[in-house]
Amino acid sequence: MKLRIKNKKKLIVRIIELLVIIATIILTIISINYATKLRGHKAYGGEYCIPILGCISIMIIEELYQESENKKKGE
């Protein structure tokens, strides 16, 4: 059975989004551990905003993809 990829650009965008999600999770865990060690106690700071930045990045990537598809279709 042969797998056919119909839209390579969409596949690349989805892979980039997945990498952003994985990097966001890893970066959040590392930054929370680092901030806790630096402070010496458990507290909530800017390190908890990293997932929000990851979501915003994904939304921007998706919007850029949609705009390129609309230009491609001539809309």
Which pLDDT does position 28 carry in this prediction? 96
Which pLDDT does position 1 carry in this prediction? 64
Question: Rounded to whole angstroms, how far apart are CA atoms 66 and 64?
Answer: 5
Question: Rounded to whole angstroms, how far apart are CA atoms 57 and 59?
Answer: 5
Query: Residue 7: pLDDT band by 50, 70, 90 thresholds?
Result: confident
Q: pLDDT digit string (tens) for 53-67?
A: 999 999 999 999 999
